[in-house]
Amino acid sequence: MVRMFHRFVARYFSDEEAVVVLLMLIGFFLGIFFLGRILAPFIAGLIIAYILQGLVIKLVRVGVPHLLAVFAVFILFIGIFIAFLLGLMPLVWSQVSGLASELPRMMRAAQHYIEGLPQEYPQLVSMEEVNTLFRQVTAEVGQITQWLVSMSLESIPGLMAVLVYLVLVPILVFFFLKDRDVILLRLSSFLPDERPLMDRIWAEVNMEFANFVRGKAIEILIVGSVTYVSLKFLGLDYAALLSLLVGFSVVIPYIGAAVVTVPIAMVGLFQFGWTDQFFLLMVVYLIIQAIDGNILVPLLFSEVVDLHPVTIILAVLIFGGIWGMWGVFFAIPLAIVLNAVLKSWPVTEPVSDESPGSVD
């Protein structure tokens, strides 16, 4: 066992720089684990700046001065940010409140329908199973309703912190865009002058992570907008809320699309019943998901993210279990970082114990 461990260390950690990188990674994940909530505005600002940096670079390439390009992109970001806060959020919030008040009526309608199942299908469903199901569903819906009602602006304990974040994040975005090269140069001064492994890892992470974040931002915007227009055209209630859920569900591949299908189907079923309108709704939704998965995703992420579906699901389960909802949203970026590190990690082939000139 000791010999195997020695060979493992000699193969993967014979390079001193690899040991330094490992310690940096451990420090990074421990910092995120213990200080993640405190650093939330910093992380949010960094990710938004990552998204916007590509536009700044394109403006600079066509001859726009760097500072002017930063101001132009930042003003665009502020405009979208304000439109989101003043336009979309109040609409979504009103629909969340409306859905909370509608849940009891939906429960009564579901109860009336399910109670008739034992009479229609006595061989498949018994009244005892229906009662057990209702006890479980009633408990879950009660918790959800309580959570929705409690989620009001008056009951948010950290309202001042939220307001501070709304100010801090744009400021951080501006300085990350403006002083990107200065910040990177300052950080690199703490690293060794000769760092080929770190340079390889940084190049890999920078390319994959930046392209993934920008691609996901575009995908969220397209999928959310198309879903909203489609649901509004079909006359579905809570179109803004459901479209927001569908848009952000693309951050979690496979799992997100499956989970968000449930509320859309439930709202459509309670509004339209088993009618042609309900089946049209589900067909339209499935077409949007099919276009996203088979056309939009390959177009935005071709040869960028090389992660197996099993790896993605495992990352969502692990990081979601560690950091909750934030871990679910950042599972794929963190998996991309780890994948880039593993691809660039130096491996020293083991040397045979016998010398070439040895004689038996």
pLDDT in tens, 256-279: 788 888 888 888 888 887 888 889
* Greater model confidence, 110 or 240: 240
Strands (E) located in 152-253: none
* Residue 155 pLDDT: 46
pLDDT in tens, 37-69: 677 788 788 888 887 888 898 899 998 899 999
The two structure tokens encoding residue 296: 């939009």
Which DSSP category does 274 fall into? S
Q: What is the DSSP string of 30-48?
A: HHHHHHTTTTHHHHHHHHH
Q: Say what percent of the chain tops pLDDT 70.
A: 79
CA-to-CA distance for 334 and 355, rounded, in angstroms?
43
* Residue 31 pLDDT: 78
Residue 122 predicted with pLDDT over 60: yes
pLDDT in tens, 191-226: 777 778 788 887 777 777 777 777 788 888 899 999
* pTM for the model: 0.67
Residue 127 predicted with pLDDT over 50: yes
* Greater model confidence, 278 or 120: 278
CB-based burial, 246-269: b 16+ in 10 Å, e otherwise: bbbbbbbbebbbeebbeebeebbb
In order of 29, 224, 305, the CA distances from 251 in angstroms are 21, 12, 13
pLDDT in tens, 146-184: 655 555 444 444 556 667 778 888 999 999 999 888 888
The two structure tokens encoding residue 196: 């080929």
* Residue 256 pLDDT: 78
Q: Say what percent of the chain tops pLDDT 90.
A: 11
Confidence of residue 359 (pLDDT cuts 50, 70, 90): very low
* Residue 287 pLDDT: 93
Residue whose C-alpha is closest to residue 345's, from 2, 31, 28, 20: 20
* Residue 68 pLDDT: 93
* Residue 75 pLDDT: 94
Q: What is the mean pLDDT of residues 332-347?
A: 77
Q: What is the mean pLDDT of residues 88-111?
A: 74
* Residue 17 pLDDT: 74
Residue 333 predicted with pLDDT over 60: yes
* 341, 357 Cβ separation under 8 angstroms: no
Residue whose C-alpha is closest to residue 258's, from 289, 232, 301, 288: 289
* Greater model confidence, 338 or 211: 338
Q: What angle do CA 67, 70, 73 make, to 5 degrees?
A: 150
